[in-house]
Amino acid sequence: MTVAEAACTDTASTIAVGTAARELQLKRGEFAIAVHMGLVRVLVQGGGRPRVRREEVDRLRSQDGFPQALRERVHTVGTAEGAQLLGISPDRFTKLARAGCLTPITFYLNRYRAVVWLYLAQELVEFAARQSQLLVGKSPAWVRSRLEGGADFRARNWRSRRIERLLSFTEDPWARAAVLAGTLDPVQLAEVVDDLYERAYLARIRPEPVFGPTGSPSAREAMGRLMQADEPDEMLWRRVGLIMELDNAREARPAPRPGDEWCPGPGIELGHGFEREQESEPVPVAEPEPASVSDPVQVFSPDPALGRVPASEPAPTFVPVRDSDPVRDPVTDPAPAPTSAPEAALGLLARIGLRRRASRRPYR
């Protein structure tokens, strides 16, 4: 059997995700959530559009209680309906979500382009049975402390859930690195991945939603903002994770270079994206030119309209240090002037930004 014949046979045994959603009697947003939760297995063949095996649809349709049981598992509610489900006021529901007690499953933008978070109804019921003490009486001290400090964990919890789910869908180190690369802004990504071709490859294989990059430009922009880590500790954690995945990826195979024939590899079954119909991944754009030493560093700042509150503590100040520098007394032995020696091999701390590269001059 030729490759073309095998491809035709495989296509005949699969259906498009839109057709699968209709046969499962799910809306597009519900189907995307089902893929995210692992309820529906999706096949990505040869870098093409996701498809669903016919036997997978038949398996779900043959389950007891279909289609109502499946729709209940992916049913989402907003703040008002969620508060009614828990028997509390919408204000208390919002406080619990901001404090990190409730994790959104998805979101959409309203007419004012504000983010509206949605939660799984089934998870709210389980939360009420497990943490009933948070629904009545005075809130615990740790909840009040978080709220008084301006905390809002909704975006961070949603982002962590999404990233962990995407990482669980694949064992390919480059695909895993691409997931983590999407959590850093272009400046931070260039600091961790200094190879332009590797950054381009990560952007090309970054996971997309089930139904492709649909939705309005504002929805794609909001998705891009919410996917990026916006707290110092989370940024550091994502940088470390990306470095570890990159080390594994480079050992497995190098990133393709101009002129190389890129082969996406065999098809794999996975859940792939989980946005609502109004959402989509940001379209990869061309890599910006590296900023010179004298250029100001652009730091990602979340949109105030999204309700994010900046960290109360200032970001740490980083001082350039080389591995070969001896320990000095800052009073009796001041630091020497920077030299133009070539950059030596640096460790993990230098790669995540805790130490500036030796070849760079300190910022004025």
Q: What is the pLDDT of residues 58-114, one digit of tens each?
A: 999 999 999 999 999 999 999 999 999 999 999 999 999 999 999 999 999 999 989
Does 314 score more than 60 pLDDT? Answer: no
Buried b / exposed e over 189-206, threshold 16 CB at 10 Å, is bbbbbeeeebbbbbbebb
Contact status, residue 47 vs residue 264, Cβ threshold 8 Å: yes
Task: State the CB neighbour count (10 A cutoff) for residue 349.
Answer: 12
pLDDT, position 150: 93
In CATH, the architecture of 77-152 is Orthogonal Bundle (1.10)
DSSP 8-state symbol, 140: P
Buried b / exposed e over 36-47, threshold 16 CB at 10 Å, is bbebbbbbbbee
Spatial CB neighbours of 161, under 8 Å, sequence gap ≥ 6: 103, 105
The ranges assigned to domains in the chain are 1-74, 77-152
Q: How far apart are CA 95 and CA 86, in angstroms?
A: 13
Q: How far apart are CA 223 and CA 30, in angstroms?
A: 18
Alpha helices in 255-357 (DSSP H): 348-351
Tens digit of pLDDT for each residue in 239-263?
A: 999 999 999 999 999 999 887 755 5
pLDDT, position 353: 56
pTM of the predicted model as reported, rounded to 2 decimal places: 0.70
pLDDT, position 203: 93
Residue 350 pLDDT grade (very low, low, confident, very high; cuts 50, 70, 90)? low
| Tokens coding 73 | 């598992």
Q: How far apart are CA 16 and CA 35, in angstroms?
A: 14
| Tokens coding 280 | 């989509």
Mean pLDDT of the region 193-202: 95
